Amino acid sequence: MIYWKKLSQEERKERIQSALKENVNFSNDASLGYPASKLDGKVFYDDAPFLKDAPTLQTYVANPNHIGCHTLGTSESAFKGTQEIEREVLNVIAVDIFKAQPNSIDGYISPGGTEANIQAIWMYRNFFMYQKKAKLDEIAILTSEDTHYSIPKGANLLMLDLIKIPVAFENREIDKIALENEIIKAKQNGKKYFIAIANMGTTMFGSVDNPDDYTSVLEKHNAEYKLHIDGAYGGFVYPFSNQKSTMNFSNPKISSITIDAHKMLQSPYGTGVFVCRKGLIENVLTKEAQYVEGMDLTLCGSRSGANAVAVWMILFTYGPFGWFEKVSILQMRTQFLCHELDELNIQYFREPFMNIVTIHSQYISEEIAKKYDLVPEQHNQDNKWYKVVLMDHVEVQHLTSFINDLKTMIHA
Ligand SMILES: *Cc1c(COP(=O)(O)O)cnc(C)c1O
């Protein structure tokens, strides 16, 4: 760990307040040029007494705009204090959690995992078009059928073909034979460049793809590719539960990763994280963004600096060991649920390092699904799975009552 540590409440408060002091202060400074200010003072008081002990809320009221990307070139100087906080967050995630070398990464805190994934596809599409002179229809996205719908959304926006690889019903593993056949077929259809997207925790199953499945077949067929990891779901769980994981920047074939802080880290919505190796993000430079100091290399434009502070606060409240402990507790609860399901001979899927249990729908009555708010794979009659996500608020007591209801149902 280079950047990540646990800080006391006082240390955190001081760090954020000193960052806010480095930013323009709309309450006192003569700042004439920005279409920006602190939050409306009639509604959001900046002198409320509780704010002095609540650094994240203080930042919300100060309302810094983190427009642009702050890991490369110059940035809007008015918000340089909290931009530094954002860089600290990106360093913790890219270097300490995902094993990048220091100063080897670009990125930003995006509105969510959807944007982070689209940013990755956009970046690689342009990389192939600008650096390799690829034509749009020579590029294809390669991913599994369990992949999140943000990838088809990105394919649609960026006008790229999407090749979906089937997975096995029970273990959710990519069908490697189908993968190879699809690549052969795509090459015959004129595809030369592939954007492969491997999941670190699919939304429905928590299944984790093996990136080698993609790279080995692509290399066997001499296809040019870039590899992105979608860790929106599992990014704050899997690297902790599976410390030997190499699904990170120690693998030179992985070029970028999406990690949502607003899922497992429980930070406010608006805290997706996109990180990529240096030398790539320049491919999405919008030259026309001339009023933004530095450059805009992001999809979204204006975004709140308070989101960076919120993620920073969580990371530095727990520290690496505190976070490991929290993930371990969720793992134990998941283990407990799986054990109880085994006792009842109920079939389910669980990736051993994740906190999601996806149960065959035949064991779950509609009544139970409704009572416990279980999420179906499909909202129709064909649904075959329901998932339980072992979040912080899902305690053993809730699981016990769920298991008891399942028992009653089985014996009825
Ligand atoms: C939730 C999720 C996303 C999209 O994230 P949003 O933050 O909702 O935009 C992308 N990929 C996976 C695997 C997800 O679980």
pLDDT-above-90 percentage for the chain? 88
Using one digit for the tens of pLDDT, what is the confidence trace for 200-235?
A: 999 999 999 999 999 999 999 999 999 999 999 999
Report the run of H or E that residue 18 belongs to, with start and end: helix 9-22
User: Residue 257 and residue 367: Cα distance in Å, rounded?
Assistant: 39
Structure confidence at residue 57 as a pLDDT band (50, 70, 90): very high
**In which residue are the tokens 């749009």 written?**
136
In the predicted structure, residue 344 carries a pLDDT above the cut 80: yes
What is the Cα–Cα distance from 186 to 178, expressed in whole angstroms? 12
Q: Which residues contact 117 (CB under 8 A, 6 or more apart)?
A: 148, 150, 151, 154, 197, 228, 230, 232, 258
Q: Residue 30 has what pLDDT?
A: 76
Q: What is the structure's pLDDT at 291? A: 73
pLDDT of residue 117: 98
Query: pLDDT tier at 36 (50, 70, 90 boundaries)?
Result: confident
In this structure, of 129-138, 302-311, 376-385, the range with the lowest mean pLDDT score is: 376-385
How many angstroms is it from 278 CA to the middle of ligand 1? 24
The pLDDT value given to residue 27? 77
Rounded mean pLDDT, 312-318: 98
What is the chain's Cα-based Rg? 23
pLDDT above 80: residue 412: no
State which ligand 1 atom lies nearest to the alpha carbon of 114: 9
Farthest-apart Cα atoms in the chain, separation:
73
Say if ligand 1 is within 6 A of residue 110 CB. Answer: no
Q: Which atom of ligand 1 is nearest to the CA of 202?
A: 13
Angle at 26 between CA 20 and CA 32, to 5 degrees: 130
Establish whether residue 308 lines the binding site of ligand 1, counting it when its CB lies within 6 angstroms of any ligand atom: no
pLDDT tier at 288, thresholds 50, 70, 90: confident
Confidence of residue 47 (pLDDT cuts 50, 70, 90): confident
Residue 308 class from Cβ within 10 Å (0-12 exposed, 13-18 middle, 19+ buried)? Answer: buried
Cβ–Cβ < 8 Å for 302, 292: no
Residue 231, ligand 1, Cβ within 6 A: no
CA contacts within 13 A on the Cβ side of 197:
33
293 pLDDT more than 90? no
**CA-CA distances (angstroms) from residue 332 to 263, 352, 357, 390?**
19, 11, 13, 10
Ligand 1 centroid to 374 CA: how many Å?
18
pLDDT band at 290 (very low <50, low <70, confident <90, very high): confident
For residue 409, the model assigns a pLDDT of 87
Instruction: Specify the pLDDT at position 329.
Output: 96
How many whole angstroms from its chain centre is CA 314?
16
Better pLDDT: 294 or 267: 267
pLDDT for the residue 75:
83
Pick the closest to residue 273 from 317, 235, 237 (CA basis).
235
Q: Counting atoms of ligand 1 from 1, which one is nearest the CA of 117?
A: 10
Ligand 1 pocket member 230 (CB < 6 A): yes
Classify residue 40 by its DSSP letter. P
pLDDT of residue 340: 97
Neighbouring CB atoms inside 10 A of 365's CB total 15
Cα(407) to centroid of ligand 1, in Å?
A: 33
Indicate if ligand 1 lies below 6 Å from the C-beta of 355: no
**63-73, pLDDT tens digit by residue?**
999 999 999 98
Give the mean pLDDT of 92-108: 98
**Residue from 110, 143, 151, 203 whose mutation best tests the ligand 1 pocket (most atoms within 8 A of CB):** 203
Tokens of 241: 């539960």
The rounded distance, in Å, linking the Cα atoms of 121 and 383 is: 30
CA distances (Å), 59 to each of 16, 65, 304, 360, in order? Answer: 8, 11, 9, 45
Comparing 176-190, 285-299, 328-342, the range with the smallest average pLDDT is 285-299
- Which atom of ligand 1 is closest in space to residue 199's alpha carbon? 13
First-residue to last-residue Cα distance in the chain: 53
Beta 272-277 vs 356-360: how paired, if at all? unpaired
CB of 146 shorter than 6 A to ligand 1 = no
pLDDT of residue 249: 98
Q: Which of 209, 263, 274, 377 to mutate to test the pocket of ligand 1 (most atoms within 8 A of CB)?
A: 263
Q: What is the pLDDT of residue 319?
A: 98
Domains and CATH numbers, the chain: 77-317 (3.40.640.10), 320-411 (3.90.1150.10)
* The predicted structure's pLDDT at residue 295: 78
Q: What is the pLDDT of residue 45?
A: 87
Q: Evaluate: CB of 179 within 6 angstroms of ligand 1.
A: no
Question: For ligand 1, is residue 81 a contact (CB within 6 Å)?
Answer: no
Mutate to test the pocket of ligand 1, among 202, 208, 233, 307 (most ligand atoms within 8 A of CB): 233
In the structure, what pLDDT confidence band is assigned to residue 156 with cuts at 50, 70 and 90? very high
- Using the mean position of ligand 1's atoms as its centre, give its distance from the Cα of residue 230 in Å: 8
Cα of 111 to ligand 1 centre, how many Å? Answer: 11
- 208 DSSP 8-state letter: B
**Overall average pLDDT of the 99-124 stretch:** 98
